[in-house]
Amino acid sequence: MQASRARLFKEYKEVQREKIADPDIQLVCDDSNIFKWTALIKGPSETPYEGGIFQLAFAVPEQYPLQPPQVRFLTKIFHPNVHFKTGEICLDILKNAWSPAWTLQSVCRAIIALMAHPEPDSPLNCDSGNLLRSGDIRGYQSMARMYTRLAAMPKKG
Amino acid sequence: MDENDLNSDHVNSDTTVDDDDADCYYDFFIKGDDPMDPEDAKSHQGSGQKYTILNQADMRKRQEDVIAEVSTVLSVSGATATILLRHFNWSVGNVHEAWFADEDDVRKRVGLLDYDKQLSDVNAGDRASCGICFDVYPRDRIFSVGCGHPFCRECWGGYIRSAINNGPGCLTLRCPDPSCSAAADRDVIDMLALSDDDKKKYSQYLLRSYVEENKKIKWCPGPDCEYAVEFDGGGGGEDSWDVSCLCYYSFCWNCLEDSHRPVDCQTVSSWLSKNTDESETKIWILARTKPCPRCQKSIEKNGGCMHMTCNPPCRYEFCWICLGDWYNHGTCNRYNEAADVEADKNREDAEKYVTKYTHYYDRWAANHSSRQKAIADMQRVQSMQIRRLIETQGKAGYELLFITDAWEQIIGCRQVLKWTYAYGYYLPENEHTKRRLFEFLQGEAEKGLERLHECAELELNQFLVDYGRPSEGFREFEVKLKGLTMVTRKYFEKLVRALENGLSEVQVSGSEEIGQNIPMTSAEG
């Protein structure tokens, strides 16, 4: 309990320092609860998510960092490894491949990498996975781009 | 051995006199000599069966022995040898073969570094920052498993505890750095674990791994039993897989079910799965879990995608929907009509035989519960009645062993009889002669066993009353019970052999003489 607080506090200070260093990630800690965080990540360039801003919610367990944080997308996203309704993410480092040396910041980086390199063979969103697996890259990209535009971009006028 | 001879002399002189079948003799095939002297009885090699019962200390000893062997031959530490052996399923031969073929490859696979990078190479100065809690510590509070990634001792302790609490996967613990594959061996655990409790759990997992991944050793499946059984025999074919543990549980080493002579493991498995088809648990398991296609452990899916990875040490990756290997997996959405028709036909057949099945099942289950009752009765006999008889009849304890013998015989026979009902169920309908012979033999067996069971259970009671002097009929009772025990034993032995041979007499001697080859001798009384 103490250990997780101390560690999160260190991450908090680190985030304050690194803010400018990594413009793609903006990690914010809940004002009243250090175990609740949100992050805004930029959709990686040259992907259908480019130009979108995606919000992630972190729930950090008391055993952190020995156990991984729970992360889900709050912003709707069309991606094979993200559940379309719940935002649940299928990523090995958030499950059995977790290491206590990961940080919230590096988890965000891993999620950005996952957005750029979907794993259609382990789909949580089967429609999206099937498009990619059947080789319909255009179909996948246009769907993903549409949802990026609908959900992850600021509404114009 | 001496005791055996003594016993059988004693018994022979008492029984054969009044018995019709003067050739009868005890060969002690069921009782053996184990209950008397557990120290000497661990190895059962005399009766053509080769197995050894191991207690925790024996297992540890064996484990330490193979570790020491590998450690000496490869000139590596015991902890390193442990990692290698675990990786190669505790086969010394496989470790040696792989190691001498390509040591570098083996090292890479199990995460053994061939260098020891000092922390100072990575972090200048005498202080270093822990990669988990990010605090800065003096050098002596920081530890690395030779790869140079620094973590403080407290964080190591927490990391180890969390791995141990996650299960046997802790045996393949690596450096906490995500990109590093350096192994954390049991010396590291011993040095850095937070408590003795953690160390104990780790060592227990290590021992379990030795037993469970070892092809020649299996746990005794008896309730609460902590013994394991090492089977040295070739097994299969002519040999019996039957094993009798020191906890008195007897089971088949091959399929780990109850001892089930005269039927084979395949029959037992189909029979038992048939029995549990309708049970609630089975329905629950079928509805919610699937067996791992490789290790058969039931897996409940609680979220995530269809790409499943079984728990370590299995780690098999497969598709949840079709249970196919993940790496050869294309799609599995196509409908397979042939499989469906097959399933329909099976359902119909099951309906058709349900009455027949109930007949055999009722009798199978009755013998099963009768055996359970007999086991309880025997404990009562041993703890109370024998003591009472010593008082009322003025006998010494060893003079009353024949009563325990009788009960052990009853328990053994109930087991056999129980399985003959599964045998009967699967005996082809159209082999009429065989069926008739089988039913005759089974009927006789049942009659004989009932006689023995009744004698042991009811006739004994009259001698428990204390008249102040030995009862007159007691000696008669002793002779009768011994006789019945012996005759039943012989009959069941022959029955088991005949059934295991698939009732081959039928082809040889024709239907008229059936029963002649396997005479049911009856003891007078």
Tens digits of per-residue pLDDT, B258-276?
888 888 888 888 888 877 7
Kindly report which listed range (B264-268, B346-350, B356-360) carries the lowest average pLDDT score.
B346-350
A95 touches B: beta carbon within 8 Å = yes
Kindly state the tokens that stand for B278: 């309708």
| pLDDT band at residue B355 under the 50/70/90 scheme | low
Q: Which of A2-11, A134-143, B323-332, B414-423 has the lowest mean pLDDT?
A: B323-332
**Cβ pair A66:B326 closer than 8 A:** no
DSSP B310: P
CATH superfamily to which B54-212 belongs: Zinc/RING finger domain, C3HC4 (zinc finger) (3.30.40.10)
End-to-end CA distance of chain B: 32
Torsion of CA B49, B55, B58, B59, to 10 degrees: 90
Q: Which of B111-120, B231-240, B291-300, B442-451 has the lowest mean pLDDT?
A: B231-240
CB contact under 8 A, B178 and A81: no
The answer to whether the CB of A104 falls within 8 A of the CB of A62 is: no
Q: Of B147, B170, B245, B305, which one is the catalytic site residue?
A: B305
- Which whole-number Å values give the CA distances from B164 to B169, B196, B411, in the listed order? 8, 12, 42
Structure tokens at B502: 């698939």
Q: What is the pLDDT of residue B296?
A: 78
Distance from the Cα of B134 to chain A's closest Cα (Å) equals 7
Percent of chain B predicted with pLDDT > 70 = 76
Min CA distance, B136 vs chain A (Å)?
A: 12
Please tell me the predicted confidence (pLDDT) of residue B466: 74
Q: What share of chain B has pLDDT > 90, as a percent?
A: 30
- Give the C-alpha distances (Å, rounded to integers) separating A102 from B146, B174, B176, B354: 20, 15, 9, 59
Residue B187 confidence (pLDDT)? 93
In the predicted model, is pLDDT for residue B364 greater than 60?
yes
pLDDT of B238 above 60: no
Q: Is B328 helix (H, G, I), strand (E, B) or coil?
A: helix
- At the top level of CATH, which class does the domain A1-152 belong to? alpha beta
Is residue B39 over pLDDT 60? no
Place of tokens 């087991």: B415
For residue B475, the tally of other CB atoms under 10 A from its CB is 12
pLDDT at residue B266, rounded to an integer: 86
Helix axes B92-101, B56-74, angle to 10 degrees: 20
Q: B305 contacts in A (CB within 8 Å)?
A: 81, 90, 122-124
pLDDT number for residue B333: 65
Residue A122: Cβ within 10 Å count: 21
The yes-or-no verdict on residue B20 having pLDDT over 60 is no
CA atoms within a 13 Å half-sphere pointing along the CA-CB vector of B183? 24
| pLDDT surpasses 50 at A149 | yes
Residue A58 has a CB neighbour count (10 Å cut-off) of: 21
Backbone φ, ψ for residue B253 (5° rounding): -65, -25
pLDDT band at B31 (very low <50, low <70, confident <90, very high): very low
Instruction: Tell me the per-residue pLDDT of B62-104, one tens digit each, with 9 for 90 and over.
Output: 999 999 999 999 999 999 999 999 999 999 999 999 999 999 9
Chain B residue whose CA is closest to A67? B162
Query: Of the candidates B155, B178, B307, which has its C-beta nearest A122's C-beta?
Result: B307
Name residues whose C-beta falls within 8 Å of residue A34's C-beta, 6 or more positions apart in sequence.
A5, A8, A9, A12, A60
- Selecting from A90, A100, A124 the residue whose C-beta is nearest the C-beta of B132 gives A100
Q: Name the minimum distance, in Å, from the CA of B327 to any CA of chain A.
A: 10
Q: Is residue B37 predicted with pLDDT exceeding 60? A: no
Task: Classify strands B151-152 and B217-219 as parallel, antiparallel or unpaired.
Answer: unpaired
What is the percent of chain A with per-residue pLDDT over 70, rounded to a whole number?
Answer: 96
- Supply the pLDDT for residue B158: 93
Residue A108 designated active-site: no
Distance (Å, rounded) from C-alpha B123 to C-alpha B129? 9
CB contact under 8 A, A81 and B177: no
Mean pLDDT of chain A: 90
- Quickly state the pLDDT bin for B16 (edges 50, 70, 90): very low
In the numeric block, which tokens belong to residue A148? 């990026």
Domain extent listing, chain A: 1-152
Contact B7, B31 (CB under 8 A): no
Q: Which residue of B has its CA nearest to A123?
A: B305
Task: Inform me whether the pLDDT recorded for B46 exceeds 60.
Answer: no
- Calculate mean pLDDT across residues B239-258: 83
- B176-207 pLDDT, tens digit per residue, is 998 898 999 999 999 999 999 999 999 999 99
Q: How confident is the model at residue B519 (pLDDT cuts 50, 70, 90)?
A: very low
Place of tokens 């099951």: B350
From residue B195, how far is each of A131, B422, B425 by CA, in Å? 52, 51, 56
Structure-block tokens of residue A20: 């400018």
CA B74 to the chain's CA centroid: 34
* Shortest distance, CA B71 to any CA of chain A (angstroms): 31
pLDDT in tens, B305-322: 778 888 877 888 888 777
> For residue B309, which residues of chain A lie inside 8 Å, CB to CB?
96
Nearest to A100 among B159, B305, B331 (CB): B159
pLDDT tier, B430 (very low <50, low <70, confident <90, very high otherwise): confident
The pLDDT value recorded for residue B458 is: 84
Q: How confident is the model at residue B348 (pLDDT cuts 50, 70, 90)?
A: low
pLDDT at B290: 77
Q: How far apart are CA B319 and CA B428, in angstroms?
A: 39
Task: Report how far residue B75's alpha carbon sits from residue B80's, in angstroms, rounded to the nearest whole number.
Answer: 10
pLDDT of residue A107 exceeding 90, the answer is: yes
The 3-state DSSP class for residue A118 equals: coil
Q: Show contacts of B503-509: CB within 8 Å, 24+ apart.
A: B503/B434, B503/B437, B503/B438, B505/B437, B506/B431, B506/B433, B506/B434, B506/B437
Q: Do B162 and A63 touch (CB under 8 A)?
A: yes
Q: What mean pLDDT do residues B52-57 have? A: 91
Average pLDDT over residues B227-232: 88
pLDDT at B502: 83
Give the sign of the dihedral formed by CA B456, CA B459, CA B461, CA B467: negative
**pLDDT of B457 strictly over 60:** yes
Q: How confident is the model at residue B239 (pLDDT cuts 50, 70, 90)?
A: low
Q: At what angle do helices B401-426 and B474-500 cross, to 10 degrees?
A: 30
- Strands A25-29 and A36-42, by their bridges, are antiparallel
The CATH code belonging to domain B3-45+348-523 is 1.20.120
Binning pLDDT at 50, 70 and 90, where does residue A83 land? very high
A63·B309 Cβ contact <8 A: no
To the nearest whole Å, the CA of A83 is away from the closest chain B CA by 9
pLDDT in tens, A42-51: 999 999 999 9
Question: What one-character-per-residue DSSP string does B22-74 give?
Answer: TT-----TTT-STTT-TTTTTEE-TTS--EEEE-HHHHHHHHHHHHHHHHHHH
Q: What pLDDT does B6 receive?
A: 38
Please compute, for residue B430, the number of CA atoms within 13 A of its CA located in the half-sphere on the CB side: 0
Measured between CB atoms, does B177 come within 8 Å of chain A? yes
Residues of chain B with Cβ-Cβ distance to A96 below 8 Å are 309
Q: Tell me what the pLDDT averaged over chain B comes to.
A: 79
> What's the CA angle centered on B41, arms B39 and B46, to 5 degrees?
150
d(CA A123, CA A115): 13
Kind plus residue range of the DSSP H or E element containing B480: helix B474-500
In angstroms, the CA B419 to CA B495 distance is: 12
pLDDT mean over B208-229: 89
Of B157, B155, B152, B158, the C-alpha closest to B123 is B152
Is B162 close to A7, i.e. CB distance below 8 A?
Answer: no
Q: Which residues contact B112 (CB under 8 A, 6 or more apart)?
A: B80, B83, B84, B106, B182, B183
Cβ-Cβ contacts under 8 Å, B161 against chain A: 66
Q: Is the pLDDT of residue B469 over 60?
A: yes
Tell whether the model's pLDDT for residue B34 goes beyond 50. no
pTM to 2 decimals? 0.67
What is the mean pLDDT of the segment spanning A101-122?
92
Q: How far apart are CA B377 and CA B411, in angstroms?
A: 10
User: Do the chains contact at B177 and A101, CB–CB below 8 Å?
Assistant: yes
Phi, psi angle pair for B454, to nearest 5°: -65, -45
Q: Is the pLDDT of residue A141 over 50?
A: yes
- Phi and psi angles of residue B429, each rounded to the nearest 5 degrees, phi first: -60, -35
d(CA B318, CA B205): 26
Run of H or E residues at B298:
strand B298-300
| Record: contact B159-A88, CB cut-off 8 A | no
> In chain A, which residues have their Cβ closer than 8 Å to the Cβ of B304?
88, 90, 95, 124
Lowest mean pLDDT among A16-25, B43-52, B154-163, B165-174: B43-52
Cβ distance of B178 and A10 shorter than 8 Å: no
